[in-house]
Amino acid sequence: MAISEAEAVVMDVLWREAPRSAEEILAEVGPAQDWQEGTVKSLLNRLLRKKAVHAERDGRRYLYTPLLTREQYVQQESKGLLDRLFGGRVAPLVAHFSEQRKLSKKDIAELRKLLQELDDEQH
Amino acid sequence: MAISEAEAVVMDVLWREAPRSAEEILAEVGPAQDWQEGTVKSLLNRLLRKKAVHAERDGRRYLYTPLLTREQYVQQESKGLLDRLFGGRVAPLVAHFSEQRKLSKKDIAELRKLLQELDDEQH
DNA sequence: CGCAATCATTTACGCGTGTAAACATCGATT
DNA sequence: AATCGATGTTTACACGCGTAAATGATTGCG
């Protein structure tokens, strides 16, 4: 089963650094999300059930480590969107943002560089 | 409120052509989705509540027209993903697909053309 | 006029989600 | 040993979603 948005917030903390205890996760995420301890615990348990994290005992508490990698998650999410909205192809997506004037100077420069690199490794 | 995936399937039909009756929508979408009449009606009612479509009476039935445009929808969805996963910037997204080798020849060609055009209209 | 067909509207139901309260456990402290 | 504090586990609850059955309203037909 897919991991939800609230669950992804917890994963984000673990992707930045792991292993971490529930308390540490709350400390990092609580301010922004205004979550209670119990909320984080619930999310962690759901992530455990989904095999997205692993827990190892550390004295009285658990330390959590991601099993699902950020790469895998990003891959799933973006492929889903791409398939649903752009026929699975990247260019139309970029064209969309281009039409909406949502390409920054920096984006354009980086895209150019990216294409250049693709060229270089071409042979 | 955001429109759900099943609702988006209905919207897709309306985006292709509108106005349409519930029956027509079912005819177009039923085979692929294996939905019953009632399912489509429910989705249409939810879309009405969300002000995503408009219904006008046509004799004994209604004809539905999209209020939310495909552009708006695509915009919301892709901006959401971009913000959540790539810090709101397009280049990292493309880089991601590039790393995953998910850029087709065609994509690359089109991206090149796109950047060229951006160049041209630059002044 | 009364009924069957045709639409639409309402209600339902199990499941996941966001959010947490309630409860259980276990080691430390009096 | 009884209690308290820290942790984790279970249960809860409202809401949206996917899917549809049940019910209601309208109208053409016999």
Choose the mutation target among A84, A111, A112, A121 for the interface with B, i.e. most B CBs under 10 Å. A111
Q: Does A74 reside within a domain?
A: no
- How many other C-beta atoms are found inside a 10 Å radius of the C-beta of residue B85? 19
Q: Does A62 reside within a domain?
A: yes
C-alpha to C-alpha distance for A85 and A68, rounded to whole angstroms: 25
Identify the domain containing residue A34 by its residue range. Answer: 5-66
Give the closest nucleotide to A41 (alpha carbon vs C1').
D8
Q: Does B114 reside within a domain?
A: no
Give the H or E element holding residue B44.
Answer: helix B37-49
Q: Is 90 exceeded by the pLDDT of residue B121? A: no
Tell me the pairing of strands B20-21 and A53-58: unpaired
Q: Is 80 exceeded by the pLDDT of residue A122? A: no
Q: Does B78 reside within a domain?
A: no
In chain A, what percentage of residues exceed pLDDT 90?
87
Chain B residues with CB within 8 Å of chain A CB: 5, 8, 74-75, 77-79, 81-82, 84-85, 89-98, 100, 102-104, 106-108, 110-112, 114-115, 118
Q: Is 90 exceeded by the pLDDT of residue B50? A: yes
Number of Cβ pairs < 8 A linking chain A and chain B: 91
For residue A72, CA distances in Å to A22, A46, A68 come to 23, 18, 7
Q: The domain that contains B11 carries what CATH number?
A: 1.10.10.10
Q: How wide is the angle at C-alpha A13 spanned by C-alphas A9 and A19, nearest 5°?
A: 135
Q: Does B95 reside within a domain?
A: no
Domain count, chain A: 1
Q: For residue B123, what pLDDT band results from cuts at 50, 70 and 90?
A: low
A23 CB inside 7 Å of strand D = yes
Lowest pLDDT segment from A7-11, A54-58, B15-19, B29-33: B29-33
- Binary contact (B111, A110; C-beta < 8 A): no
Question: Model confidence over A100-114: pLDDT tens digits?
Answer: 888 999 999 999 999
Q: Does B79 reside within a domain?
A: no
C-alpha to C-alpha distance for B41 and B71, rounded to whole angstroms: 24
Q: Is 80 exceeded by the pLDDT of residue A20? A: yes
pLDDT for the residue A31: 81
Question: Model confidence over B59-107: pLDDT tens digits?
Answer: 889 999 999 999 999 999 999 999 999 999 999 999 999 998 889 999 9
Give the H or E element holding residue A57.
Answer: strand A53-58
Q: Is 70 exceeded by the pLDDT of residue A123? A: no
Q: Does A21 reside within a domain?
A: yes
When pLDDT is averaged across residues A49-67 and rounded to a whole number, the result is 95
Rg (CA), chain B: 19
Q: Does B77 reside within a domain?
A: no
pLDDT for the residue B71: 94
Choose the mutation target among B5, B85, B113 for the interface with A, i.e. most A CBs under 10 Å. B85
